[in-house]
A and B are shown apart, each in its own frame.
Chain A
Amino acid sequence: EAGVTQFPSHSVIEKGQTVTLRCDPISGHDNLYWYRRVMGKEIKFLLHFVKESKQDESGMPNNRFLAERTGGTYSTLKVQPAELEDSGVYFCASSLDRTLSYEQYFGPGTRLTVT
């Protein structure tokens, strides 16, 4: 069974540019989560999808971030325009169910560097 995959693995962009990160969850997992780790700090929750619906986007930093999940399959996270403080590692996770009885499976992350 394929795990959670993320693309690209690393992205370097200039301040003011746009970047789109993609996450492919494990097949059949309705729940998809985005997290972010700014260098040296803790991993923080950004948002949660159930199928194509956003259930909780309380962790999204500001309106420069837009997450979508087309058809309840893969998800994209767009940052527009990117700022220096957006640099970090963006993790995606998926789970079969939202309850904690079900493990969240994480992808390897996308390292975003904004220069």
Chain B
Amino acid sequence: AQTVTQSQPEMSVQEAETVTLSCTYDTSESDYYLFWYKQPPSRQMILVIRQEAYKQQNATENRFSVNFQKAAKSFSLKISDSQLGDAAMYFCAYATSGTYKYIFGTGTRLKVLA
């Protein structure tokens, strides 16, 4: 069975600094998708970034980028130039291609310090 592990329950970063959130996963599949979702307090969970496993190039969305290490089954999220609005719960998720069920990690709460 596939699993997703986020080993950092909470992280803090100073405003304008860079922070990296860790995510590892376990699967025997070769074709799958990985996601990072962000949930601000009492707000919708929104997609931050996604990565297709067959793509070797790391996905990037503005200040957000991932380090996708397929062999190591690692999918970390780097947030550059952190802003106060980045404070949220971040969830890493996995889904096998051809399915629709997301498998989530336990989440990492990110605090941004002014």
B-binding residues in A (CB < 8 A): 3-4, 9, 31, 33, 35, 37, 40-45, 48, 56, 59, 91, 95, 98-100, 103-109
Q: Interface size class for chain B? A: 20 to 34
Residues of chain A with a CB closer than 8 A to B105's CB? 42
A-binding residues in B (CB < 8 A): 4, 33, 37, 39, 42-47, 50, 91, 93, 95, 97-107
Q: Are B45 and A44 in contact (CB under 8 A)?
A: no
Q: Are B47 and A103 in contact (CB under 8 A)?
A: yes
Closest 7 CB pairs of A and B: A106-B45, A43-B104, A45-B101, A98-B100, A42-B104, A100-B33, A42-B106
Q: Which chain B residue has the least Cβ–Cβ distance from A9?
A: B42
Measured between alpha carbons, how far is A48 from B46 in the docked complex, in Å?
19
